[in-house]
Chain A
Amino acid sequence: MQRPRNDRAWFLVLPVVGIVAFSALIPLMTVVNYSVQDTFGNNQFFWNGIGWYKELLDPTTDLGGRFFDALWRNLLFSFLALVIEVPLGIAVALAMPRSGWKVSATLVLMAMPLLIPWNVVGTIWQVFARPDIGMFGAAVNRLGVPYNYTQDPLSAWVTIVLMDVWHWTSLVALLAYAGLRSIPDAYYQAARIDGAKGFSIFRNIQLPKMKRVLLIAVLLRFMDSFMIYTEPFVVTGGGPGNSTTFISIDLVKTALGQFDLGKAAALSIVYNLIILAICWVFYTVMTRADARENG
């Protein structure tokens, strides 16, 4: 005997479909929709096909030129953040105490910068680095080093990188510390018995045991630094000139400043795809490494 079919159970997934639709699907499709059209305001839209994408990926156009400039800035910024924060974080983790009340004290201190909201960090550094009244900026100038982040691109970069290092090195340090703490004492004892010293212990025991958490740290710091927006927006506003205009800042200018919804939408989608692609590469590398380890 055949059971009576009842498809009404499908209605049970409606809330989820609704939430996903309004939180992700509809906004995303709106952006896709904008990216293939042009508008002159008044809610009038004209079909433009893949015109914006062509323009965006062609460095000779205004839009494409700005995009590639910003992309290189993003890559350089992420590179600098990783190159400074990862080794520094490891060094800090190695220097952190291993027992006693100092552990909790250090952990609290280390966690502090992580708890400060992005725009507050930006504001702190905007004041701190000011050449006239900021403690850091004024001090550097008094030492005879010309430093002014509103006029000199190098100063602006130094400020933003320094700010990111100050804000996020503790994250790397905390992750590395967790990795270090998970190494059993026997490894250090064996190393002493084998006559290994200092750097050899680091290279042969500590670094291999920290590898996994460091991969996570690199992944987190890369994605986060690649999406940077708030801090440079607050501190330099993308300047001087366009020297600290990252993709996100350029995107907001295009969308809200010039109200070029089509260009901004195409830029958003490409930006999104870049981040997705890089995440996929990281994910693949990590799972491959895992498989090799267990295989």
Chain B
Amino acid sequence: MARISLERLAHAYRPGGPYALQPMDLVWAQGGAYALLGPSGCGKTTLLNIISGLIHPSEGRVRFDDRDVTTLPTEARNIAQVFQFPVVYDTMTVRQNFAFPLKNRGVPEPEITRRVAEIAELLDMVAVLDRPARNLTADAKQKISLGRGLVRSDVAAILFDEPLTVIDPHLKWELRGKLKALHRRIDVTMIYVTHDQTEALTFADQVVVMNAGEVVQVGTPDELFSRPEHVFVGHFIGSPGMNFLPCEVAGRLAWVDGHAVPLGADYGTTAGRLELGIRPEFASLARAGAGVPVSVRRIEDLGRVRLARCMLAGNPFVATVPDGVVPDGDAASVLLPPAHLHLYADSRRVVPLEPAREAA
């Protein structure tokens, strides 16, 4: 049971070499469900291994509550980890697998029996307790890995390293739901590494988005969607990703290819390479002349919504096609509601001088 804090943490695999992890400060509250989300090679597994103690960071500190664990080995931290591929002890039964971490720590036999029974109950594995672990399916094996972490009463956090990679698609939902339910029942911090936004957004209360060794945003799924702090988050979260348009800004107006677009707030004078961002869900297609002109390339009917793939001043742009709107030829326009427009300078979101007014 602990709060995990990372202070000025950074890691380079070679001394003086490039950072695999850029310097960061993060606090993970006790009992939270967190996801580390990012593309392959963004450093999320490195960060996870630093927390579990398999890698020692080259800079900064890791604290569990107030205890500095930066240099402690894995076995001295109260951490459990579930790996990408199921790790079970082949020669043991499920019961022996669950009991193994307790045996190694010298827990008395009656206590082991009690904990194992409790965890088997929690994971729905009572029926297979005496089966050899090697004969079970991949999802059952992942549950065994998880169970070996849960039996320990001292566990501060459970780390998941893309645990659903080898699970059949129809079981993924089930196992993810199970994890979520488990998190509600037991008070333990869970940190879940994934490159799949659906997994991250459905599992976590707080999502940490990483790119190229850097934490680009920490927020609730809703925040990541409605207010991406970084162009990368806009692209990475949401399907399709956010639209970005190069622009110039003067106070409450943005100029995109000579067309004035009213913004919801005053940005004053902003330096840097400026881009206007809006989610396809909020940009709607309209007849030519109603808004910023676009040329429609094709309409995708996704059943629930229709999306228009357009070109806007030489940039690809995706907009929602409202019911009743029938594009007439290529020429159309898009409406950009000011409340959902965000301004980015050098890829980072610009905070307006005054807060945006409610939706126009």
Enumerate chain A interface residues (CB-CB to B < 8 A).
Answer: 184, 186-187, 189-190, 192-197, 200, 204-205, 208-209, 293, 295
Tell me, rounded to whole Å, the shortest Cβ–Cβ distance linking A197 to chain B: 7
Q: Could you say which residues of chain B place their CB within 8 Å of the CB of A195? A: 75, 101, 104-105
* Interface of chain B residues 75 through 127 with chain A (CB within 8 A): 75, 79-81, 83-85, 87, 89-92, 100-101, 104-105
Is there contact, CB below 8 Å, between B83 and A186?
yes
Is there contact, CB below 8 Å, between B75 and A200?
no
Contacts A189-B83, A192-B74, A193-B75 supplied; 19 other A-B pairs, CB < 8 Å:
A184-B87, A187-B87, A189-B52, A189-B74, A190-B87, A192-B54, A192-B75, A193-B74, A193-B80, A193-B101, A194-B104, A195-B75, A195-B101, A204-B89, A204-B92, A205-B89, A208-B90, A208-B91, A295-B135
Tell me, rounded to whole Å, the shortest Cβ–Cβ distance linking B188 to chain A: 15
Q: Could you say which residues of chain B place their CB within 8 Å of the CB of A205? A: 89
Q: Could you say which residues of chain B place their CB within 8 Å of the CB of A200? A: 104
Nearest residue (CB) in A for B83 is A186
B148 on the interface (CB 8 Å rule)?
A: yes
Is there contact, CB below 8 Å, between B87 and A186?
yes
Nearest residue (CB) in B for A190 is B87
CA distance A140 to B85 in the complex (A): 53
CA distance A193 to B75 in the complex (A): 5
Enumerate chain B interface residues (CB-CB to A < 8 A).
Answer: 52, 54, 73-75, 79-81, 83-85, 87, 89-92, 100-101, 104-105, 134-135, 145, 148-149
CA distance A208 to B91 in the complex (A): 7
Is there contact, CB below 8 Å, between A184 and B85?
yes
Q: 9 closest Cβ contacts across the A-B interface? A: A195-B104, A186-B83, A194-B101, A190-B87, A192-B74, A208-B90, A208-B91, A204-B89, A186-B87
Is there contact, CB below 8 Å, between A196 and B100?
yes
Tell me, rounded to whole Å, the shortest Cβ–Cβ distance linking A77 to chain B: 31
Q: Secondary structure of the B side of the interface? A: mixed
Name the residue among A197, A204, A293 with the largest chain B CB count within 10 angstroms: A204
User: A194-B148, A196-B100 are contacts. A189–B92 as well, Cβ < 8 Å?
Assistant: no
Is there contact, CB below 8 Å, between B83 and A190?
yes
Tell me, rounded to whole Å, the shortest Cβ–Cβ distance linking A119 to chain B: 43
User: A192-B74, A194-B148, A195-B75 are contacts. A186–B101 as well, Cβ < 8 Å?
Assistant: no
Q: Could you say which residues of chain B place their CB within 8 Å of the CB of A187? A: 87
Selected from A184, A189, A209, A295, the residue in CB contact (under 8 A) with B54 is A189
CA distance A190 to B54 in the complex (A): 10
CA distance A197 to B105 in the complex (A): 11
CA distance A147 to B148 in the complex (A): 56
Tell me, rounded to whole Å, the shortest Cβ–Cβ distance linking B16 to chain A: 20
User: A186-B84, A204-B89, A295-B135 are contacts. A193–B79 as well, Cβ < 8 Å?
Assistant: yes
Is there contact, CB below 8 Å, between A204 and B80?
no
CA distance A208 to B87 in the complex (A): 13
Is there contact, CB below 8 Å, between A193 and B104?
no
CA distance A196 to B105 in the complex (A): 9
